[in-house]
């Protein structure tokens, strides 16, 4: 699990977990079938149903497989190792940015060989939440991990990741309602302030947006500015209005968001063999996103598909809340926060969406164990993670 952020294709191993479908609680099977069914049905009402139906089906099965993988894990034991992979991602980004820009690297958003700055920020936010709940680390080690994660979030310049970390940690504190969690939250805010002042000291006068910017100063200066997302949202909404029932089709939203479109180009080694074939032209921009998960769902899959998304995400939120595992609830809130200005739960992804569905699969397993046995949710054998979290510490307090 720790290697997934460093080598993202490793998460494909989790696809084998789809064979565990029958072991899922009956209620979860039904919700996933409703989700996959609505996604597939929406494809029949798109401009290219022969492309949309199989793509929608594959995406639905992919999500189901990741949930099955989390259900197989049953708890956060192996999942906790993800902390080290996300921390490594942040450190690699810092080193990469330093090697590219030298001592002036403070003036640039973090760069990574595989990830965009926003993605690095999300890695840092995930690492922060994992470190925030751990109780088995020495205080100094935990503070160091939290500091690295906060540094990564701030230098990435991703306001969504920063907001996700704050809200995720806040929800964890509200769920636990113990003084230790609130002290840790306040300490984290203090660390963020110290880092911000330190970076400002190293980069005086470099707070203007543009090249050579101070990422932290940029975040403060830009504030709540949508950074062009308003145009993208408008184009996604227009695509939905043109195809309200089934949308434009899974992976086919690109041409409908011209603000993000680039000409179709082949990789340099094969460019001499000719231009993009027609199928590639139709799928050009397949990875473009509406920068809002609900608008994206409407544009890609219409009203039918969005109903499936709401059913799935709503149930997963319920499972995270009832799982009695603060980390999973914090992750859910963090991802939903990012989803307001990005699409962090669409698969396939650089590993972030896959992490979300594995986490929610664990939540489903914990919910099944906690619920009274019935025909819809069957109990599992109890098992505990090998480390202490804030939740376990809270239960032990008088």
Task: Kindly state whether residues 375 and 259 are assigned to the same domain.
Answer: yes
Residue 211: the pLDDT is: 43
Residue 224: the pLDDT is: 67
Q: What is the DSSP string of 192-256?
A: HHHHHHHHHHHSTT--SSSTT--HHHHHHHHTT--TTHHHHHHHHHHHHHHSTTT-S-TT--GGG
Residue 273: the pLDDT is: 59
Q: How many domains does the chain have?
A: 2
Task: Kindly state whether residues 202 and 234 are assigned to the same domain.
Answer: no
At 121-177, the pLDDT tens digits run: 999 999 999 999 988 888 999 999 999 999 999 999 899 999 999 999 999 999 988
Residue 1 resides in a domain: no
For the residues 314-329, what does the mean pLDDT come to? 95
Residue 267: the pLDDT is: 62
Task: Kindly state whether residues 70 and 98 are assigned to the same domain.
Answer: no
Residue 66 resides in a domain: yes
Residues spanned by the domain of 107: 79-222
What's the chain's average pLDDT? 86
Cβ–Cβ contacts within 10 Å for residue 349, how many?
Answer: 18
Token couple for 67: 């949930």
Instruction: Give the list of residues 6+ apart from residue 64 with CB closer than 8 angstroms, or none.
Output: 18, 21, 32, 36
Task: Kindly state whether residues 47 and 108 are assigned to the same domain.
Answer: no
Whether 395 has a pLDDT exceeding 80, the answer reads: no
Give the CA count within 13 Å in the CB-facing half-sphere of 125: 34
Task: Kindly state whether residues 277 and 363 are assigned to the same domain.
Answer: yes
Task: Kindly state whether residues 263 and 321 are assigned to the same domain.
Answer: yes
At 356-382, the pLDDT tens digits run: 999 999 999 999 988 755 545 544 443
Task: Kindly state whether residues 363 and 287 are assigned to the same domain.
Answer: yes
Task: Kindly state whether residues 13 and 89 are assigned to the same domain.
Answer: no
Residue 3 resides in a domain: no
Whether 250 has a pLDDT exceeding 70, the answer reads: yes
For the residues 211-217, what does the mean pLDDT come to? 62
Cβ–Cβ contacts within 10 Å for residue 89, how many?
Answer: 27
Question: 170, 191, 222 — which closes off a domain?
Answer: 222
Question: How long is the chain?
Answer: 398
User: Are residues 341 and 229 in contact, defined by beta-carbon separation less than 8 angstroms?
Assistant: yes
At 83-97, the pLDDT tens digits run: 999 999 999 999 999
Residue 241: the pLDDT is: 97
Task: Kindly state whether residues 236 and 385 are assigned to the same domain.
Answer: yes
End-to-end CA distance of the chain: 35
Adjacent-strand bridge partners of 134: 389
Residue 2 resides in a domain: no
Token couple for 329: 């609830």
Band the pLDDT of 386: cuts 50, 70, 90: very low
Adjacent-strand bridge partners of 389: 134
Residue 48 resides in a domain: yes
Instruction: Give the list of residues 6+ apart from residue 376 with CB closer than 8 angstroms, or none.
Output: 25, 26, 27
């Amino acid at each position: 699990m720790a290697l997934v952020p460093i080598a993202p294709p490793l998460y494909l191993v989790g696809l084998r977990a789809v064979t565990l479908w029958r072991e899922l609680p009956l209620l979860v099977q039904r919700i996933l079938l409703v989700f996959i069914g609505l996604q597939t049905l929406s494809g029949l009402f798109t401009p290219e149903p022969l492309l949309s139906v199989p793509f929608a089906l594959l995406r639905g099965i992919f999500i189901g497989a990741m949930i099955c993988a989390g259900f197989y894990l049953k708890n956060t034991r192996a999942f906790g190792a993800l902390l080290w992979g996300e921390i490594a991602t942040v450190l690699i980004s810092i080193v990469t940015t330093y090697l590219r820009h030298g001592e002036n690297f403070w003036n640039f958003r973090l760069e990574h060989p595989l990830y965009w700055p926003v993605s690095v920020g999300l890695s840092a936010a995930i690492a922060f939440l994992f470190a925030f709940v751990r109780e088995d680390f020495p205080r100094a080690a935990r503070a160091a991990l939290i500091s690295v994660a906060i540094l990564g979030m701030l230098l990435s310049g991703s306001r969504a990741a920063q907001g996700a970390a704050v809200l995720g940690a806040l929800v964890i504190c509200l769920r636990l309602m113990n003084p230790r969690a609130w002290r840790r939250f306040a300490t984290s805010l203090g660390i963020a302030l110290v880092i911000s002042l330190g970076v400002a000291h190293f980069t005086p006068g470099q707070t203007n947006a543009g090249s050579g910017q101070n990422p932290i100063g940029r975040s403060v200066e830009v504030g709540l500015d949508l950074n062009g997302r308003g145009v993208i949202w408008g184009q996604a909404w227009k695509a939905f209005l043109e195809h309200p029932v089934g949308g434009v089709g899974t992976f086919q939203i690109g041409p409908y968001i011209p603000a993000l479109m680039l000409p179709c180009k082949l990789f340099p080694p094969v460019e001499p063999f000719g231009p993009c074939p027609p199928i590639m032209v139709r799928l050009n921009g397949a990875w473009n996103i509406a920068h809002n998960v609900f608008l994206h769902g409407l544009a890609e899959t219409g009203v039918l598909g969005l109903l499936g998304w709401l059913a799935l995400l709503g149930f997963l939120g319920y499972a995270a809340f009832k799982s009695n595992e603060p980390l999973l609830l914090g992750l859910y809130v963090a991802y939903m926060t990012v989803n307001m200005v990005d699409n962090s739960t669409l698969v396939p992804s650089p590993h972030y969406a896959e992490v979300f569905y594995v986490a929610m699969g664990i939540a489903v397993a914990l919910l099944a164990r906690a619920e009274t046995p019935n025909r819809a949710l069957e109990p599992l054998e109890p098992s505990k993670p090998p480390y202490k979290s804030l939740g376990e510490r809270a239960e032990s307090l008088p």
